[in-house]
Amino acid sequence: MNNVLIAAGGSGGHLYPALAVADIFSKEGFQVHLLTSRKRPANIKFNSNIKIIEGFSIGWNRRLTGIFPTSWSLFKDFILSFRVLSKLKPILVLGMGGYVSIAPILIASIFGIPRAIHEQNIIPGLANKFLAPFVNKIFISFPNTNFGTFQSKVVYTGLPLREEFYNIRYLNHDKFTVLVMGGSQGARIINDTIVEIVERRLVEDTKFIHITGTRDFDRLKEKIERLKSQNYEVYSYREDVWTLYEKADLVISRAGAGSVMELASVGLPAILIPYKGAEGHQYLNAKWLVDNGRGIIIDQSQLSPTYLAEKIQGFKSMNSAEIVSNHRKVLDLPKASYKLVEETLKMIGG
């Protein structure tokens, strides 16, 4: 059985697309090895047919005191990657973003193994910018992502999503339902705002389904227990988030590439609150979705319980004709997992 090595950073934004692609490679008869960070969310599940290799990369620490630990972790990843590639002799190395992908791609370049990277965001991340000269192909999630002088290597595949997102069936429900997410790690300011909206009953006759993220759940546990009801469901994390999309009329979310592409695929309108960091990636991701008629952006500096409640009420007040017209318009996107595997197979003559 031919080996494929996929390298992906430890966040959900890197791992979920990597796992979606890994599933397709497995179905095609390849043995997939996933090199990822030791520091990753404990609740992300891996299929038993994917073999996990833990890397050392800790990401780029830009403070002066972080130069040595960053360099040391990268050096250890180079040693690990050399050993792994020498042993496995993969027919392909695919980087799905994050600093853990740097070493295996560069070692693959030295060994002459076909290699590619996938960029999740509109603006290429630092690791992928660095790796662009060393790969055969660059796969992108958004059609307008630009890799400058390496644009000739670019292939638009879209963002790989888990199979379940392509098969969502919307469920009938009595109340207007808002799904709130802050990404795989959660978002404190969004969580606090939603809890206050529920506590003060700022939006009447509305159900909230709230995913807080694991880091924030314990902090809010006391309030959550007091507020939980038929109209307020709270989870620290949900692997099967697609089942919650099936119950929702509106989504409130950060604007990571994964969340934005899920929303584009399932066709739900959104209130997007981009994270200020990450070099502005999230704002541009959100703008792409809004430009395609799928919701609105709220700057985090504007966020307050009353302001967000007004915006929710605005969506809720749409008449039935507008809901049919504007909700659940699925954008015409490529089925990215299959497209990406198809393109990599061309690289290796499959």
Q: Please give the full DSSP string across 15-46, using - where no structure is assigned.
A: HHHHHHHHHHHHHTTPEEEEEEESSS-TT---
What is d(CA 13, CA 29) in angstroms, rounded to the nearest whole number? 26
CB–CB of 62/34 below 8 Å? no
pLDDT tens profile 112-125: 999 999 999 999 98
Q: What secondary structure letter does DSSP report for 142?
A: S
Using CA atoms, how far residue 269 sits from 120, 153, 172, 289, 294, in Å, is 21, 33, 17, 9, 5
Domain ranges of the chain: 3-158+334-347, 165-326
- What does the DSSP 8-state code read for residue 229? B
Asked whether 106 and 74 are in contact (CB, 8 A), the reply is no
Distance (Å) of CA 128 to CA 57, 59, 252 = 15, 13, 29
Tokens of 187: 């978002």
| pLDDT of 324 over the 60 cut | no
Strand, helix or coil for residue 12 = helix
Task: Give the sheet arrangement for strand 270-272, strand by strand.
Answer: 232-235, 206-211, 176-181, 250-253, 270-272, 295-297
pLDDT of residue 343: 95
The answer to whether the CB of 94 falls within 8 A of the CB of 5 is yes
Please say whether the beta carbons of 176 and 249 come within 8 A.
yes
The residues near 173 (Cβ < 8 Å, ≥ 6 apart) are 207, 247
Q: Which of 45-49, 129-133, 258-262, 298-302 has the lowest mean pLDDT?
A: 45-49
The CATH label, of 3.40.50.300, 3.40.630.30, 3.40.50.2000, 3.60.150.10, for the domain at 165-326 is 3.40.50.2000
Domain 3-158+334-347 annotated CATH 3.90.1150.10: no
Taking a C-beta distance cutoff of 8 angstroms, is the pair 194, 208 a contact? yes
Whether residue 12 has pLDDT greater than 60: yes
pTM across the whole model: 0.88
pLDDT for 192-246, tens place per residue?
Answer: 999 999 999 999 999 999 999 888 888 888 888 888 888 999 999 888 999 999 9
Using alpha carbons only, give the angle 80, 131, 139 rounded to the nearest 5 degrees: 110
Residue 151 pLDDT greater than 60, yes or no: yes
pLDDT of residue 61: 57
Q: For residue 126, which amino acid is it?
A: L
Instruction: Supply the pLDDT for residue 278.
Output: 58
Nearest CA to 3 out of 101, 111, 91 is that of 91
Fold match between 3-158+334-347 and 165-326? Answer: yes
Is 37's pLDDT higher than 50? yes
Percentage of residues of the chain with pLDDT beyond 70: 89
39: left (phi over 0), alpha (psi -120 to 50) or beta: beta
Mean pLDDT score of the chain, rounded to an integer? 88
User: Which pLDDT belongs to residue 62?
Assistant: 56
Average the pLDDT over each of 3-12, 24-33, 60-69, 77-86 and give the range with the smallest value.
Answer: 60-69
Question: Between 70 and 342, where is the model more confident?
Answer: 342
Q: Is the pLDDT of residue 26 over 90?
A: yes
The token pair that represents 336 in the structure block: 């990215």
Does the pLDDT at position 64 exceed 70? Answer: no
- Please answer whether residues 35 and 84 qualify as being in contact, where contact means their C-beta atoms are separated by less than 8 angstroms: yes
- Tell me the average pLDDT across 149-170: 92
Highest mean pLDDT (candidates 34-38, 91-95, 97-101): 91-95
User: Which pLDDT score, from 0 to 100, does residue 336 have?
Assistant: 93
CB 41 within 8 A of CB 68: no
DSSP string, 276-332: S-GGGHHHHHHHHHHHTTSEEE--GGG--HHHHHHHHHHHHT--HHHHHHHTT----
Handedness of CA 233, 234, 235, 241 (dihedral sign): positive
